[in-house]
Amino acid sequence: MSRIPDERPLNPKPEVVDGLRRLLPRESVLTTEAELAPYECDGLSAFQQRPLVVALPETVEQVQAVMRLCHEMEVPVVARGAGTGLSGGALPLADGVLLSLAKFNRILGIDPANRSATVQPGVRNLAISEAAAGHGLYYAPDPSSQIACSIGGNVAENSGGVHCLKYGLTVHNILKLKLISVEGELFEVGADALDSPGLDLLALMTGSEGMLAVIVEVTVKLLPKPERAQALLAAFDSVEQAGAAVAEIIGAGIIPAGLEMMDRPAIRAAEDFVHAGYPTDVEAILICELDGFNAEVSFDVMRVRDLLLASGAADVRTAADDAERLRFWKGRKAAFPAVGRISPDYYCMDGTIPRRQLGPVLRQISALSEQYGLAVANVFHAGDGNLHPLILYDANNPGELEQAEALGGAILELCVEVGGTVTGEHGVGVEKLNQMCVQFNSAELNQMHAVKAAFDPKRLLNPGKAVPTLHRCAEFGAMHVHHGELKFPELPRF
Amino acid sequence: MTETAETDAEQAIVEQVTTAWSAERLVAIQGGGTKAFYGNRVAAETVLDCSVHQGVVAYEPTELAITVRAGTPLAAVEALLAEHGQQFPFEPPHFGAAATIGGMVAAGLSGPRRPYAASVRDAVLGVRVLNGKGEVLEFGGRVMKNVAGYDLSRLMAGSLGVLGVLLEVSLKVMPVPPGRITLVQEQDQAGALELMQRWAGQALPISGTAWLEGRLHVRLAGSDEALTQTQRIIGGAPMAVAEADAFWLALREQELDCFAVDSLTGDGFAGDGFAGDGLAGERSLWRLSVRSATAAKAIPAPDLIEWGGALRWLRSERSAAEVREMARTAGGHATLFRAGSGRSAPRDGVFTPLNPVAARLHQHLKRAFDPAGIFNPGRLYPGMGRTAG
Ligand SMILES: Cc1cc2nc3c(=O)[nH]c(=O)nc-3n(C[C@H](O)[C@H](O)[C@H](O)COP(=O)(O)OP(=O)(O)OC[C@H]3O[C@@H](n4cnc5c(N)ncnc54)[C@H](O)[C@@H]3O)c2cc1C
């Protein structure tokens, strides 16, 4: 995989620093090596680059002024929230301004009557639910990184969480955005109402990875808390059975609040780390959460239990109380750091596949894992078909990072081949540019570039991310692979 | 990404668009023509009929997704879903037997269940679309989660055909809940608004609300356990199931008296005001999409309130400026849904005008998809697209 995100020629303009100093307080413009170091990567540390300068504005007017300056001087800008992104979306540019929204950390208002909250983009995801809790309300999308990641980053990535199966992704849970255009103008998309006139720019902005405008305010929907939540933990002797059980539950017309799966390596790592009480001698576990009215949940718990047993579950446990339910989740939510304990490094993938392909694809991943000589732990949003294979490697062993990336690429191409996509929630960033060449043809990529140009003709906002140039794709040599030979002919397809 | 081969019908559509692109001929895109009244009048030179492009491409109930060609009749697709105990979560209005899936997505209109489930746009997973240069493009997919590249598939929902011709759409579907019941109670407007707001603050299985003629109708959908418990909270008298189903259908299809205006027939409103017959204008039907907790007095004398207060319908002789101002103050926007006879549409169109930056971005996006400006010129906003002649 190319380490260079983009073929952009560098064009450093150190004068921009003087300009920024005129616009922002002294402490809001960072330039020394020590000051820049914390910004050199996001959650994907395999890619590192120090920016020319970091700007930390704290008012909307300051963001506007920074954008106007950069637009005039033609200096690229990369917006950054909390830097937890897993695809290098917030990776700085050597000749660019890194625009941190970290100081935009205020909750501007909770409107319990309309069940919405208006917040600044640097507010942490979990802080919104905490602030709304007093009204019996919460913000539904709950990425595992929710204690750290920012709502601005969530919007830019269209982030999901374990409860998205029932409650939707970020795009389904926001009402309105205030944005700064690349030229420095403030504008709004969406409304306090359920729709707004014209093209759906709110949907277009969501998941646009900081490439179309800078988000300076977000109005989110809040939901009332259900009366009761209950979780089941099912153990399986094969991943195929667990995958089939997922289809059985959904096919029976039940939409669980969460439906997550972990395979043997992930179970072991999580169990050793947080002692969630998982059975460790099984091939897969499913955690299924149901919520709603008390009586309704009791009824559905019985139905799901029967379905799980009928699908071949070796054991099904129902949480005895809320403490046990939270323990079931604790292992799942701690799975990434748990895997981090058993391997010097891990590389988290994010492909999505049709649910019915879960079993076959997991089997194929384990074959690829053997072929590439690197272990893989799987922990993922089974209900949504969103896989998170964690590839274990050691960056200190020469060539292992490249091997991990090659295996990751093969896994994503497999996802595309069975009718899925290269990223379900982590975004393309710089990481999956090559796989975008597999998923889209040149006309499709050109259409995306035309959309980018509609917002940012000079390509100053986060250039080189998310959508590969055709030149890059030609080099990668993968264009039109999806219309050509099938690499995994044994897998069932549409 | 889908792997469907191009059909003859699709090939014919592509050829027509390619010709129109090179000849710069203005094209009105049509499905079943049932929503032609909605939006601004299109001044086109040719009609592109998409209704022949039919068929279900993929439907696997356990995937909760269906992929359909755009010309497929909406009724046929809903019947297929019902056979498998599933439905579109957004309860789309048909406005006629000829309604197609493509028209449903392009119009982006959702029905009574919308605030409690999803909108059309929420349910869009992917599209196969023809841009103004005659290129067939696919965005999104058939899976629940997909953030590869810009979300150009949801952008198509509600775009009224100004960006491209929808060829295929993948949509999320949901199971039909096991039971339903409709409860009716006498309430004045303020009382109804207050109740809807209170209920919305609790996790209740409500699937529709409608206040009209002094009565509040609440539809619940869910398991027997949930319905029993919720019925105690909501109160009111249960309607017979057949009668209730007929009510919600008539509401969705706007066949209730509260929607009736003495309307001109025909397609769309003229952007520059057509002459009418010289009579004093009849009342027009306005759709106001607002904050759900907007006070009764902020929008006087609505004929109907839906969506827990977030959608208010008004038959009024007021000017567009007045109605838009009411909606704006309530955090939303107003659409001239059907003009009364003798009344002309505002010069700036039936939809609330955009802020200047958004308006500019609309022009740029239009050019990005349809460089010659040939698709549905003016349908969304006057001036979006080339003018004839
Ligand atoms: C342990 C761990 C677990 C995770 N679990 C999940 C999960 O369950 N689900 C999930 O979806 N993700 C998950 N993530 C990924 C990550 O947390 C999300 O992508 C998150 O939304 C990123 O938010 P951030 O504030 O850290 O954004 P950053 O990483 O700072 O930025 C992400 C992107 O958003 C852009 N951006 C940020 N702020 C703005 C703004 N104000 N305006 C415009 N553009 C902006 C950046 O340019 C960049 O392209 C996980 C990450 C980690 C490390």
CATH of the domain at B86: 3.30.465.10
Q: Do B30 and B55 belong to one domain?
A: yes
Q: Do B37 and B145 belong to one domain?
A: yes
B149: DSSP letter = S
The string of pLDDT tens digits covering residues A412-430 is 999 999 999 999 999 999 9
Q: Do B166 and B115 belong to one domain?
A: yes
Residue type at position A194:
L
Q: Do B12 and B65 belong to one domain?
A: yes
The yes-or-no verdict on residue B277 having pLDDT over 60 is no
Q: Do B47 and B123 belong to one domain?
A: yes
| Ligand 1 atom closest to A209 (CA) | 49
Task: For residue B151, give the 3-state DSSP assignment.
Answer: coil
The answer to whether B202 and B229 are in contact (CB under 8 A) is no
d(CA A120, CA A116): 13
Neighbours of B328 (CB within 10 A): 15
B82 at the A interface (CB within 8 A)?
no
B38 at the A interface (CB within 8 A)?
no
Long-range contacts of A478-487 (CB under 8 A, 24+ apart): A478/A434, A478/A437, A478/A438, A479/A437, A479/A441, A479/A442, A480/A441, A481/A413, A481/A438, A482/A416, A482/A417, A482/A438, A482/A439, A482/B1, A482/B3, A483/A441, A486/A417, A487/A413, A487/A414, A487/A417
Pocket-testing residue among A84, A381, A426, ligand 1, by greatest number of atoms within 8 A of Cβ: A84
Largest Cα–Cα separation, chain A: 69
Structure tokens at A89: 């979306």
Residue B214 lies in a domain: yes
Q: Which residues of B touch A250 (CB under 8 A)?
A: 62, 64
Range of the domain at B227: 179-253
Q: Do B150 and B218 belong to one domain?
A: no
The string of pLDDT tens digits covering residues B281-301 is 689 999 999 999 999 999 999
Closest residue CA from atom 50 of ligand 1: A145
Reference A318, options A348, A347, A286; nearest CA is A286
How many Å lie between the alpha carbon of B254 and the closest alpha carbon of chain A?
A: 19
Question: B234, B253, B272 — which closes off a domain?
Answer: B253
Task: For residue B197, give the 3-state DSSP assignment.
Answer: helix
Residue type at position B161:
G
d(CA A333, CA A356): 24
Are A199 and B365 within 8 A, CB to CB? yes
Residue B200 lies in a domain: yes
B175 at the A interface (CB within 8 A)?
yes
The string of pLDDT tens digits covering residues A420-471 is 999 999 999 999 999 999 999 999 999 999 999 999 999 999 999 999 999 9
Q: Beta strand pairing status for B124-130 and B136-140?
A: antiparallel
d(CA A163, CA A357): 21
Q: Which residues contact A285 (CB under 8 A, 6 or more apart)?
A: A233, A234, A235, A236, A242, A261, A262, A267, A278, A279
Are B121 and A203 within 8 A, CB to CB? yes
Confidence of residue A132 (pLDDT cuts 50, 70, 90): very high
Confidence of residue A493 (pLDDT cuts 50, 70, 90): very low
Residue type at position B282:
E
Does the CA dihedral B199-B201-B204-B208 come out positive or negative? Answer: positive
Are B159 and A196 within 8 A, CB to CB? no
Closest chain A residue to B129 measured between Cα atoms?
A: A444
A448 alpha carbon, distance to own chain's centre: 20
The answer to whether A128 and A139 are in contact (CB under 8 A) is yes
* End-to-end CA gap in chain B: 39
Residue A215 near ligand 1, beta carbon < 6 Å? yes
CATH number belonging to domain A15-100 = 3.30.43.10
The string of pLDDT tens digits covering residues A205-263 is 999 999 999 999 999 999 999 999 999 999 999 999 999 999 999 989 999 999 999 99
Q: Do B80 and B207 belong to one domain?
A: no
Q: What is the pLDDT of residue B341?
A: 81
Nearest beta carbon to residue B141 from set A206, A296, A420: A420
Are B332 and A192 within 8 A, CB to CB? yes
Q: Do B15 and B161 belong to one domain?
A: yes
Structure tokens at A473: 């794709």
Q: Do B162 and B223 belong to one domain?
A: no
The yes-or-no verdict on residue B272 having pLDDT over 90 is no
Are B365 and A454 within 8 A, CB to CB? yes
Residue B385 lies in a domain: no
Residue B30 lies in a domain: yes
Q: Do B103 and B148 belong to one domain?
A: yes
B233 at the A interface (CB within 8 A)?
no
Q: Do B24 and B49 belong to one domain?
A: yes
Residue A104 near ligand 1, beta carbon < 6 Å? no
Are A436 and B149 within 8 A, CB to CB? yes
Nearest beta carbon to residue A188 from set B146, B352, B355: B355
Q: What are the b/e assignments for A66-103, b being 16+ CB within 10 Å? A: bbbbbbeeebbbbbbbbbbbbbbbbbbbebbbbbbbbe
Q: Class for domain A228-337, per CATH?
A: alpha beta
The angle subtended at Cα B32 by Cα B30 and Cα B33, nearest 5°, is: 65
Q: What is the pLDDT of residue B5?
A: 56
Are B144 and A165 within 8 A, CB to CB? yes
The answer to whether A56 and A24 are in contact (CB under 8 A) is yes
Residue A178 near ligand 1, beta carbon < 6 Å? no
CATH of the domain at B188: 3.30.70
d(CA B25, CA A82): 49
Q: Is the pTM of this model over 0.90?
A: yes
* End-to-end CA gap in chain A: 30
Q: What is the pLDDT of residue B273?
A: 41
Q: Beta strand pairing status for A53-55 and A29-30?
A: antiparallel
Which residue shows structure tokens 């076959």?
A360
Question: B197, B232, B253 — which closes off a domain?
Answer: B253
Q: Which residues of B touch A111 (CB under 8 A)?
A: 293
Closest chain B residue to A295 measured between Cα atoms?
A: B225
Q: What is the pLDDT of residue B107?
A: 98
The yes-or-no verdict on residue A487 having pLDDT over 90 is no
How many Å lie between the alpha carbon of B255 and the closest alpha carbon of chain A?
A: 23
How many Å lie between the alpha carbon of A34 and the closest alpha carbon of chain B?
A: 34
Residue B321 lies in a domain: no
Confidence of residue B263 (pLDDT cuts 50, 70, 90): low
Q: What is the pLDDT of residue B278?
A: 35
Residue B298 lies in a domain: no
Which residue shows structure tokens 């007045």?
B322
Domain parsing of chain A, residue ranges: 15-100, 108-224, 228-337, 343-483
d(CA A249, CA A269): 27
The yes-or-no verdict on residue A485 having pLDDT over 80 is no
Q: Which residues of A touch B58 (CB under 8 A)?
A: 494
Residue A63 near ligand 1, beta carbon < 6 Å? no
Ligand 1 midpoint to CA B82 (Å): 39
Residue B99 lies in a domain: yes
Residue A118 near ligand 1, beta carbon < 6 Å? no
Question: B253, B287, B314 — which closes off a domain?
Answer: B253
CATH fold of A108-224, please? 3.30.465
Residue B83 lies in a domain: yes
- How confident is the prediction for chain A on average, in pLDDT? 93
| Complex ipTM value | 0.95
| Ligand 1 atom closest to A427 (CA) | 19
Q: Do B194 and B243 belong to one domain?
A: yes
CATH fold of A343-483, please? Alpha-Beta Plaits (3.30.70)
Which residue shows structure tokens 């919720």?
B230
Considering its fold, how many domains does chain B have in total?
2
Residue A81 near ligand 1, beta carbon < 6 Å? yes
Residue A350 near ligand 1, beta carbon < 6 Å? no
Confidence of residue A486 (pLDDT cuts 50, 70, 90): very low
Burial class of A13 by CB neighbour count within 10 A (0 to 12, 13 to 18, 19+): middle
